[in-house]
Structure 1
Amino acid sequence: MKLSQLLFSFLMGFFCYSLIEIVMRGYTHWTMSLTGGLVLMIIYIINSRSSITLIRSCIAGTLSITAIELTVGIFDNVIMRWNVWDYSDMPFNFLGQICIPFSCLWFVLCIPASLLCRRIGRTLNRQPVNKKAVPIRSEQPL
């Protein structure tokens, strides 16, 4: 896996997640943009295995997103007190940072994210067409 592939998937996640948050909530926080980039990069890594099924990819993605969300939430909301989000009113929440309903949403969002990552992988791994080389005149036998 090339660094350029990881960087591209990070930037796609950075911008796509920021756009989703702005459309849904009207704003985003810079840490959410970074988190979105990290998440899509991890989903890209998960989907780089050719043997992984879509359902397994979504399960791994959901667990990864939930773990990252908890980590970022503890830093942003508990330690720094930036109050980026609060799931305290949601059922089955943990410290107001993660909850089962949003983990279910992450599972659903992993479907298009996984398909996007597979598309990115196919596009970036595409080898140039090897056309038959025409010898330079000086290389032709006399």
Structure 2
Amino acid sequence: MKYKKNKIIHFFIFGSIYLNVEIISRACCGALTGFSGICKWSLCGWTSLWMFPIGGLCAALIGSLNDRPEYYNLKMWQQVIMGGSLICIVELLTGVFFNLYLHFNLWDYSQEKFNFMGQICLKNSIYWYVLSIVVIWFDDVLSYYFYEGEKPSSLLSYVVKLVKLQ
């Protein structure tokens, strides 16, 4: 049985985690220079402070879906498709607003292959689908520790469910 969760807690936890994920991924890829034009809104050019609410929003939305039996009773691949698509939609909409309308230049994928308006690209979209597995699992972990939900199995078991199309 899923429990109603405090979305504010999830928003802050996932927003904080996403900032760190972005910094770590940039460090691993040797790209800790940021994009030109974001220094006003960035943390040392490594990530933008705006990634906190964007990452928090994505995870809170997936967590809200994860509260619904129609969602968590789906097969893992279906949950991942919905969660990853949700992240891609949020990335496109926030990119259009922040980058094209407000000119914050938070990200620019125009040099990437298969990009759309420079706001989303195929490579990062694949990352968002993979990340959605982690978000679904961690949402279940938070439910267990904070809201007396069922104890989730390991992250690896979630991945196995996805690979086996369960």
Report the TM-score, using the length of structure 1 for normalisation: 0.80
Offset of 1:52 from its aligned partner?
2.8
For 1:93 and 1:67, locate their aligned partners in 2 and report how far apart those are by CA, in whole Å. Answer: 14
For 2:75 and 2:143, locate their aligned partners in 1 and report how far apart those are by CA, in whole Å. Answer: 15
Counterpart check, 1:42 vs 2:61: yes
Q: Which amino acid is 2:89 matched to?
A: A
For 2:79 and 2:57, locate their aligned partners in 1 and report how far apart those are by CA, in whole Å. Answer: 16
Q: Which stretch has the larger CA shift, 66-75 or 17-26?
A: 17-26
1:37-59 C-alpha deviation (Å, 9 max, x unpaired)? 00110111122234133222211
Gaps of 5+ in 1: 128-142
Which residue number corresponds to residue 6 of structure 2?
5
Counterpart check, 1:107 vs 2:129: yes
For 2:12 and 2:84, locate their aligned partners in 1 and report how far apart those are by CA, in whole Å. Answer: 20
> Is the Cα–Cα contact under 8 Å of residues 5 and 124 in structure 1 kept in the other structure?
no
Superposed, 1:20-59 pairs within 5 Å as 20-25=21-26, 26=32, 27-49=46-68, 50-59=72-81
Match of 2:96, SS?
A: helix
Counterpart check, 1:94 vs 2:113: no
Counterpart check, 1:69 vs 2:91: yes
For 1:101 and 1:86, locate their aligned partners in 2 and report how far apart those are by CA, in whole Å. Answer: 13
Offset of 1:28 from its aligned partner?
1.6
Q: Which amino acid is 2:48 matched to?
A: H
For 1:125 and 1:77, locate their aligned partners in 2 and report how far apart those are by CA, in whole Å. Answer: 37
Gaps of 5+ in 2: 27-31, 33-45, 150-166
Tell me the matched-pair count.
126
Which residue number corresponds to residue 132 of structure 1?
none
Offset of 1:66 from its aligned partner?
0.6
For 1:95 and 1:20, locate their aligned partners in 2 and report how far apart those are by CA, in whole Å. Answer: 24
The structure with the largest alpha-carbon Rg is: 1
* Larger relative contact order (CA 8 Å, sep ≥ 6): 2
Offset of 1:74 from its aligned partner?
0.7
1:75-114 C-alpha deviation (Å, 9 max, x unpaired)? 1111111111111111111100011111111111111111
Which residue number corresponds to residue 121 of structure 1?
143
> Is the Cα–Cα contact under 8 Å of residues 46 and 57 in structure 1 kept in the other structure?
no
Q: Which amino acid is 1:101 matched to?
A: K
